[in-house]
Amino acid sequence: MTVSTEKNYEGVFDSTLGFGHRPAVISIDFLQGYTTEDSPLYAPGVVKCLKEVPELLNVARETNTPVIHTRVRYTPPDFSDAGIWIAKAPVLKALVEGNPYAAFCDEVAPLEGEVVITKQFASAFFGTSLITMLNGLGVDTLIIIGCTTSGCVRATAVDTLQYGIRPMCVRECIGDRHDGPHESSLFDINAKYGDVVSKSETIEYLRSL
């Protein structure tokens, strides 16, 4: 008998965390390389989700919810700050200062006073001050948006849980290169590491604080 994926996980990996009381929003790597068609990093799913993001960011700002942005930057010519990841994914060599592909998408660019974290690896926590910042703010809920679902979003969600904070991934505001990895990653995050939530319920939560 063939059992569906959902049925196989039912009663095992299907609980929810729910929103907490002190949220922050993290906007992961909304860089022009993911939304420019001639870029080797181009990801159609990111173009799609980007349209949903400004409304959520506006609500976060209106409710005085901290908004944190991440970007990836490497140092040419040897890219030693990328470790061996650059050997696995040489496409990332586009993410250097001065390359338009490494610039934030205009629609979701950081506002003055919003923190920008520069990272070299998938998780927004790895090698950065993010957890120190969140602890200092008393954050118990991290609302995760950005790209890509199967890479930096998933890695950040896993580390969020491991640091004792609730990862809440906003489905409409997350994108990837292909629907397959995107949907699989959202399913996996929702099953084991955090909650995948809708934009509408996230906005409702922020406005209720």
Q: Which residues are catalytic?
A: 152
Q: For residue 203, count CB atoms less than 10 angstroms from its CB and return exposed for 0-12, middle for 13-18, buried for 19 or more.
A: middle
Amino acid (one-letter) located at 154 = R
Q: How far apart are CA 65 and CA 57, in angstroms?
A: 9
Q: How far apart are CA 110 and CA 124, in angstroms?
A: 16
What CA–CA distances, in Å, run from 59 to 62, 74, 172, 176, 198?
5, 32, 15, 24, 14
Q: How far apart are CA 186 and CA 39, in angstroms?
A: 25
For residues 161 and 167, the answer to whether their CB atoms sit within 8 Å is yes
Report the interhelical angle of 154-162 vs 179-192 (nearest 10°): 10
Q: What single DSSP character describes residue 74?
A: B
